[in-house]
């Protein structure tokens, strides 16, 4: 039976036959992936399987050797940055590690995308929007004038999230948002992300190694291995597959602990 594919209108990101490479090193080959409107799609895979490079190919920072990438129905391949402005301003990105500008305050960091896409916005409005985003991301109101070096790890992630949400995007890319956070801060960040995703109707492309985050947030999970997406589905659908990496990942000791904590009533499957 062929899989039921979502309507075009329901697909925010469509990747077909993607090949990426750095010189002789092929990272992806014949990779297909759909991200549906309003879902949180988790992307998992071993270190170096190409999760971040996939994200970069989708947002137009990595030129594919072959294949197509569409976002909001528009091709991103070979697209000039200025040409794709209308698409770019519909997404926000939280890069691995936050990637805040160290010489700018939190408020100024949040204002960067606003200044870039709406150069005519007047400073008082910029300040107002930044202050609103600071609170929205769960930071104390006095975090705006602080510099990144003055923030804790959790605050840095929230500041980066505030910047990703600066333009009220439809789509958000989160690259390992909870990496380096203690379990309580990570769980708080997951809750915040879920609340914002639901209230803003966001589509989320989420790269993570964090099993608790997968259980807490993801509607579906795509597994990267062997240079492609080898499976995509709910965690239960993935658990039913026989692939050794998937079984080791979700059914290994950490996977079982995450499942028990997300679903206390679930019986141990081993
Ligand atoms: N700019 C680059 N130049 C050369 N090789 C690169 C570059 N960026 C990534 N790579 C290579 O591409 C492969 C995939 O890297 P990528 O960062 O996407 O992995 P990842 O799955 O996100 O890993 P991790 O989980 O460790 O963050 C790796 O082998 C990496 O060394």
Report how far ligand 1's centroid is from the alpha carbon of 52 (Å): 7
Nearest to 175 by CA among 53, 27, 12: 53
> Which pLDDT score, from 0 to 100, does residue 4 have?
53
Question: Would the CA dihedral through 74, 77, 79, 81 be positive or negative?
Answer: positive
Task: Check residue 1 and give its pLDDT.
Answer: 43
The pick from 50, 65, 226, 230 for probing ligand 1's pocket by mutation, whose C-beta has the most ligand atoms within 8 angstroms, reads 50
Choice from 19, 24, 49, 53 to test ligand 1 binding pocket (greatest atom count within 8 A of CB): 53
Q: Domain map of the chain by residue range?
A: 39-60+89-262
**10: number of CA atoms within 13 Å, CB side?**
6
Rg of the chain over Cα atoms, rounded to whole angstroms, equals 19
State the distance between the two ends of the chain, measured CA to CA, in whole angstroms: 30
Closest approach atom of ligand 1 to CA 207: 22
Ligand 1 atom 14: residue of nearest CA: 50
Instruction: Give the CB-side neighbour count of residue 53, counting CA atoms within 13 A.
Output: 22
- Give nearest CA residue, ligand 1 atom 8: 53
Q: How far is CA 267 from each of CA 149, 171, 270, rounded to the nearest angstrom?
A: 45, 36, 9
Nearest protein CA to atom 2 of ligand 1, as residue: 22
Rounded Cα distance between 240 and 130, Å, is 45
Q: What is the ipTM of this complex?
A: 0.97
Predicted TM-score (pTM) of the model is 0.90
Looking at the CA of residue 209, tell me the nearest atom of ligand 1: 25
Q: Please, which residues have CB within 8 angstroms of residue 105's CB and are 6 or more apart in sequence?
A: 144, 145, 146, 147
pLDDT at 42: 96
- Residue 168: CB partners within 8 Å, gap ≥ 6? 200
CATH code of domain 39-60+89-262: 3.40.50.300
The per-residue pLDDT for 12 is 95
Pocket of ligand 1 (CB under 6 A): 22, 27, 45, 47-53
Q: How high is the pLDDT of residue 243?
A: 87
How far apart are the CA of 7 and the centre of ligand 1, in A?
32
Burial class for 269, CB neighbours closer than 10 Å (0-12, 13-18, 19+)? exposed
pLDDT of residue 2: 43
Choose the residue to mutate in 19, 21, 29, 49 for probing ligand 1, maximizing ligand atoms within 8 Å of C-beta: 49
CB 229 within 8 A of CB 223: yes
Element (H, E) at 148: none
Residue 21 Cα to ligand 1 midpoint, Å, equals 10
CA of 96 to the centre of ligand 1 (A): 12
Residue minimizing CA distance to atom 4 of ligand 1: 22
- Predicted pLDDT at 152: 86
* C-alpha span between 85 and 116 (Å, rounded): 10
Is 196 within 8 Å of 135 (Cβ atoms)? no
Residue 41 CA from chain centroid, whole number? 8
Instruction: Supply the residue whose CA is at minimum distance from atom 16 of ligand 1.
Output: 50
The one-digit pLDDT tens for each residue of the chain (270 residues) are 444 555 666 999 999 999 999 999 999 999 999 999 999 999 999 999 999 999 999 998 899 999 999 999 988 888 777 778 888 889 999 998 778 899 999 999 999 999 988 888 899 999 999 999 999 888 998 999 999 999 988 889 899 999 999 999 999 999 998 888 888 888 888 988 998 899 989 999 999 988 888 988 899 999 999 999 999 999 989 988 888 888 888 877 677 777 777 777 654 444
Q: Which of 24, 51, 94, 178 most suits a substitution to test ligand 1, by most atoms within 8 Å of the C-beta?
A: 51
* Distance separating alpha carbons of residues 196 and 24, to the nearest angstrom: 41
């Amino acid at each position: 039976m062929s899989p039921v594919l979502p309507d075009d209108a329901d697909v925010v990101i469509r990747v077909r036959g993607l090949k990426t490479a750095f010189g002789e090193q092929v990272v992806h080959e014949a990779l297909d992936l759909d991200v549906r409107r309003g879902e949180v799609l988790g992307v998992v895979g071993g270190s170096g399987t190409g999760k971040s490079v996939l994200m970069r190919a989708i947002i137009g920072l990595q030129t594919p050797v072959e294949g197509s990438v569409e976002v909001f129905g528009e091709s991103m391949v070979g697209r000039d940055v200025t040409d794709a402005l209308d698409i770019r301003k519909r997404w926000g990105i939280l890069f691995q590690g936050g990637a805040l500008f160290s010489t700018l305050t939190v408020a100024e960091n949040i204002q960067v995308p606003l200044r870039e896409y709406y150069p005519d916005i007047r400073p008082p409005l910029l300040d107002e929007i930044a202050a609103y985003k600071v609170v929205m991301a769960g930071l104390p109101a006095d975090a705006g004038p602080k510099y990144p070096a003055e923030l804790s790890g959790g605050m840095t992630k929230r500041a980066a999230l505030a910047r990703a949400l600066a333009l009220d995007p439809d789509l958000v890319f989160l690259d390992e948002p909870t990496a380096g956070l203690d379990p309580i801060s990570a769980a708080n960040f997951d809750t915040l992300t879920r609340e914002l995703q639901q209230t803003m109707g966001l589509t989320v492309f989420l790269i993570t190694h964090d099993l608790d985050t997968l259980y807490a947030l993801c509607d579906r999970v795509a597994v990267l291995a062997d240079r492609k997406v080898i499976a995509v589905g709910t965690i239960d659908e993935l658990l039913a597959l026989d692939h050794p990496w998937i079984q080791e990942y979700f059914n290994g000791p950490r996977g079982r602990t995450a499942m028990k904590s997300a679903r206390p009533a679930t019986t141990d499957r081993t």
